[in-house]
Homo-oligomer: A and B are copies of this chain.
């Protein structure tokens, strides 16, 4: 009785992405009610040299996408990073869920010791499957989901911890 690589990846990402999508829906509704241009929320960042809201969404999605693709040894779909509206962000999240949902447990299970290497900026990062999942992908994924949430909260969107954690 132990956790499989699949159980610790696909359902974890999927659940948080669905919660994030529901948070975006609340943000869009908030902008509508308050007559705020949605781009005010969707273009904000927490510090001048932090990435803006859309990039937080893209990187959260891509961290999940690449993690699942690398563990399974399949090609990740390419997305153009051109989404700008809340509806488009939700579409990006859905495309990500569709991709990771299409990968079967048997494709990921047993990838604990699989060598995983990739470039991150100027550096090459080397992991095995388990260290990649637990020390990089999961922390990085929740970093960007939380930062997206924090930008919305900072802008007055009425969401709370239970929206982030899900039901």
Give chain A's interface residues, CB within 8 Å of chain B. Answer: 1-5, 7-8, 11-12, 15-16, 46-47, 50, 109-110, 112-113, 130, 134-136, 138-140, 142-143, 146-147, 149-150, 153-154, 156, 161, 164-166
Contacts and interface: CB of A to CB of B under 8 A. Distances in A.
Contact of A1 (B8, B15, B46, B110): B110
A157 to B, nearest CB: 9
A164 B12 CA distance: 20
Top 5 nearest A-B pairs (CB, nearest first) are A142-B142, A2-B2, A146-B146, A3-B3, A46-B154
Given A46-B154, A47-B156, A139-B165, A3 B146 contact: no
A12 B135 CA distance: 7
The oligomer's copy count stands at 2
A118 to B, nearest CB: 14
Given A7-B130, A143-B164, 9 more contacts: A2-B2, A3-B112, A3-B130, A11-B134, A138-B142, A142-B143, A142-B146, A143-B149, A150-B150
A143 B161 contact: yes
A58 to B, nearest CB: 14
